Structure 1
Amino acid sequence: MKKLLLIGLFGLFSLNVYAQEETTTYNGEKYGYIIDKSGKKVEGVVHLNGGYSSPWQNQLKVKFAAIADIDKVKNKIKFKTYDADDIKEYMLYEGDTPRVFQSIKYTNTREAINSSNNSTGIGAGIKALNNLTRTSQFAEIVTEGKIRVYKMYGYPTSASAYDSVENERLRTTPDYVYSKKGGKVEDFTPAKVKIAIADCPFTKAKAAKGEYGSLKNEEKQRSGLGKFIRDEIKNATVDKLSIVNEVIYDYNENCK
């Protein structure tokens, strides 16, 4: 599969986007591609912006070099850095497994509210602002189908405090959002999932019979801002991954 990426890639590629350039030492980077705003796929090598301790950085930027920008003789590679406004998608191989990140429009309101409820002072305000001001970002696809699910990480107060308790929570408890048939990216709640799967008789019937253990009946509450805030806090405790593995998988497999 990786060898196919090299076929016909020794010409120069022209991307109609603005990106920062950086020349560095070639060190066996991972093969992948980007898709620019016009829909053109350009294959080459990808360098993630974030690592194990800061996966949210992968949502902000990515470094990419086309094959023509790799000089193995001089052991040099010329990267360009792109953000979510520059390109539609990027992919890289982790072993033989492709990891796909798409540019989406989404504001992490929940993490901003969690910041206000779990912290106080200037730090809480900065963290809330970090999450509210980022509307265009990359998100990794975890489930493909009529309902596509993305994994999202909240943003910390400081990009340098990787060993903090709060950053550890963000790293180990990602959020999940979804898009149905390429539509708007939405927050993941049991109520919204029930609506999303209602157009398929198979999953609608199973949900009505209570056959999905990951979907719990929700109590009716009064409307207004108070309800919105309570729901956001409550939804943070929902086992979304179980909903993805049970309900969304069932829908995508049986409701073509």
Structure 2
Amino acid sequence: MKTRILTAGLLILSFASFAQNQTADDDNIEYELKSNEKLGYIITKDDQKVEGVVKLAGSEKSPWDNQKKVRFLAKENIDPTAKRQHFKVLKVDDLKEYVAVENNAERRFRVIKFSNMRAAMSMGDGIGSTIKGIKNASSTTHMAEVIIDGPITMYRLYGYPTMVAVGNADVAQAEQDENNLRNNPDILVQKGDDRPRELRTGDIKKLVDDCSAVSTKLAAGEFHTYDPAKEEKKKTGFGKLIKGETERLGSKLEDMGVEIFTAYNTTCKQ
């Protein structure tokens, strides 16, 4: 029976591992997790942790949807006898963060304030691109995915595509913009209580300079993702602009941050 359930994309869910200060009889709730549902929890505005089932709004094709809403079913509201469960739609004004467990790892989304002016200003011609620019300029509150959490926190934030395109050229431009947003999210960094901001390679040295163990290792070129001779070479004008745009492509910034900021958070906890 268990094999057939797993093959069908379902999982018998037990909340015993999450529950605290309750009896075993109260903890064990059997519920069939569907393929698009994850075990998880939310943190409310008043810092209460509520465990339950998370249904992500976004997908690989639309990761930006995870930044605006999530569907959540609290553990206490699960009715194992019901054919359909009532998931509540939560938006950025309803919580501080939410967590979904995928492949035994937590995916954490936290509410942040950030104006994504890069996505707002990267407009082509046509109505669709204009609407995309306005949408990104006016959207300042997001549930960004946490990549690294600690004294230095790193986030992944996607821009928002347009939902409107008129004419073949406009449709083609909208598709191109959407692919760029999907494949090249912004990497944000936040140190302590500072506001999140875009991460640039030129910021990394300054961000870790109060941790001698990490800054010394960085200067010696002992992080394989960071070459100080290359990354700290001063550029001005157009060269600086080109470098800033180029390093957004691919995973360079994220790889650097994961390696260096993880070392900082582990070595120099504050």
TM-score tier, shorter chain, comes to 0.7 to 0.9
**For the residues of structure 1 that align with 2:257 and 2:114, how far apart are their CA atoms?**
19
* Aligned partners of 1:92 and 1:99 also within 8 Å: yes
Q: CA RMSD in A?
A: 3.2
Q: Which residue is 2:158 aligned to?
A: 153
Structure 1 or 2, whichever has the larger Rg, is: 2
SS in 2 for 1:91: strand
Name the count of aligned residue pairs.
236
* Aligned partners of 2:71 and 2:89 also within 8 Å: yes
Deviations 1:191-245 (A, max 9, x none): 22221111112232344445553551243536xxx99977764553482023113
Gaps of 5+ in 2: 1-13, 166-170
Identical amino acids, percent of aligned pairs:
33
Deviations 1:4-58 (A, max 9, x none): 23565979xxxxxxxxxxxxx9847322111111101111111111112101100
Tell me the CA shift for residue 120 of structure 1: 1.9
Q: Write the letter of the residue equivalent to 1:54.
A: S
1:90 paired to 2:105:
no
What TM-score do the two structures reach when normalised by structure 1? 0.79
Structure 1 pair 228–236 and aligned structure 2 pair: CA distance change class (3 A): same
Q: Write the letter of the residue equivalent to 1:53.
A: K
Structure 1 pair 165–121 and aligned structure 2 pair: CA distance change class (3 A): closer
**For the residues of structure 1 that align with 2:117 and 2:125, how far apart are their CA atoms?**
17
**For the residues of structure 1 that align with 2:210 and 2:187, how far apart are their CA atoms?**
22
Q: Write the letter of the residue equivalent to 1:180.
A: K
Q: Which residue is 1:4 aligned to?
A: 17
* Aligned partners of 1:214 and 1:243 also within 8 Å: no
Q: Which residue is 1:15 aligned to?
A: none
**For the residues of structure 2 that align with 1:232 and 1:75, how far apart are their CA atoms?**
52
Structure 1 pair 172–230 and aligned structure 2 pair: CA distance change class (3 A): closer
**For the residues of structure 2 that align with 1:231 and 1:108, how far apart are their CA atoms?**
19
Tell me the CA shift for residue 255 of structure 1: 2.2
1:80 paired to 2:88:
yes
**For the residues of structure 1 that align with 2:255 and 2:107, how far apart are their CA atoms?**
21
What TM-score do the two structures reach when normalised by structure 2? 0.75
Correspondence list, 1:1-256, <5 A: 2-6=15-19, 8=22, 27=34, 29-113=37-121, 115-116=122-123, 119-158=124-163, 164-212=175-223, 213-214=226-227, 216-221=231-236, 233=245, 236-237=248-249, 239-256=252-269
Tell me the CA shift for residue 93 of structure 1: 1.1
**For the residues of structure 2 that align with 1:134 and 1:178, how far apart are their CA atoms?**
19
Tell me the CA shift for residue 82 of structure 1: 1.2
Gaps of 5+ in 1: 12-24
